[in-house]
């Protein structure tokens, strides 16, 4: 079995190869290491190999990891569904939240962001696959949500996030990713400061990079399968 360091090197090489293959600027795509369910040692190993950004889905687990890595300069991203009663802890302990999909959550995150910290970076999660079970706002509601959150001082809207339904094959994966790219391009034209298209996982980061992703969220390919 390969070590985390070896897998990190391979993923970085693949990302560079895809950037060049699809005409993207070198280093224009950031790697978010999705460490949910993985032990602290895995995070420490990835950090020792140069990884700084980590993504977590489960609040209690994440808070423990954040607490236990305070001596490391890590950047923490919350990427799981956000319940109202979790907003205070997310706003207090994370640098990013990728999964904002309604005004109430955005408002609560903004209100709870401590004043000594810069605004919490957020992405709006969009449901591009149109499945009732998935989180994310319907694309039709995006403009209204963007307008509603524009005055909130404790958060900074940075872009969009999606977790498309799994598709077989590059062409169908690209089609799903392309739908989000179109929304992103439109948003970037009207709102200043938009620079983050959070899309792509272990299964589809080639398609995501081909379609303009600026941040891929990779768990399994880096840390191995989850239990």
Ligand X SMILES: *Cc1c(COP(=O)(O)O)cnc(C)c1O
Nearer to ligand X, 57 or 129 (CB): 57
Instruction: Please list every residue from 1 through 20 that binds ligand X, using CB under 6 A.
Output: none
Q: In the range 126-185, which residues lie near ligand X by CB under 6 A?
A: 163
- Nearest alpha-carbon partner for 33 in 10, 56, 49: 56
Which of residues 83, 104, 220, 224 is near ligand X by CB under 6 A? 220
For 73, residues 6+ apart whose C-beta sits below 8 A from its C-beta are 52
DSSP 137: B
Give the residue at shortest CB distance from ligand X.
219
Q: Does 87 bind ligand X (CB under 6 A)?
A: no
Alpha-carbon span 117 to 89, nearest angstrom: 14
Place of tokens 């399968």: 225
Is residue 37 involved in binding ligand X (CB under 6 A)?
Answer: no
The helix, strand and coil proportions of the chain, stated in percent and rounded to the nearest 5, come to 45, 20, 40
Q: Which of residues 46-85 bind ligand X (CB under 6 A)?
A: 57, 79
- Using rule CB under 6 A, residue 217 touches ligand X: yes
Looking at 106-114, 148-156, 187-195, 219-227, which segment touches ligand X (CB under 6 A)? 219-227
Please, are residues 90 and 105 in contact by the beta-carbon 8 Å criterion?
no
List of residues contacting ligand X (CB under 6 A):
34, 36, 57, 79, 163, 201-203, 217-221
């Amino acid at each position: 079995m390969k070590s985390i360091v070896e897998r990190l090197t391979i993923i970085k090489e693949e990302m560079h190869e895809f950037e060049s293959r699809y005409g993207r600027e070198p280093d224009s795509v950031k790697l978010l290491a999705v460490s949910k369910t993985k032990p602290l040692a895995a995070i420490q190993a990835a950090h020792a190999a140069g990884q700084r950004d980590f993504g977590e889905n489960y609040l209690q687990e994440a808070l423990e990891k954040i607490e236990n890595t305070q001596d490391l300069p890590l950047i923490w991203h919350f990427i799981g569904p956000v319940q109202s009663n979790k907003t205070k802890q997310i706003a207090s302990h994370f640098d990013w939240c990728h999964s904002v999909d309604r005004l109430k959550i955005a408002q609560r995150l903004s209100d709870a962001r401590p004043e000594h910290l810069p605004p919490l970076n957020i992405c709006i999660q969009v449901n591009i696959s149109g499945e009732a079970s998935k989180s994310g706002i319907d694309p039709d509601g995006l403009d209204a949500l963007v307008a509603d959150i524009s005055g909130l001082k404790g958060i900074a809207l940075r872009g969009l996030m999606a977790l498309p339904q799994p598709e077989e094959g590059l062409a169908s994966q690209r089609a799903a990713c392309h739908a989000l790219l179109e929304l992103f391009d439109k948003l970037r034209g009207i709102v200043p400061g938009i620079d983050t298209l959070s899309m792509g996982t272990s299964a589809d980061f080639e398609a995501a990079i081909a379609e303009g992703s600026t941040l891929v969220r990779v768990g399994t390919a880096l840390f191995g399968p989850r239990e």
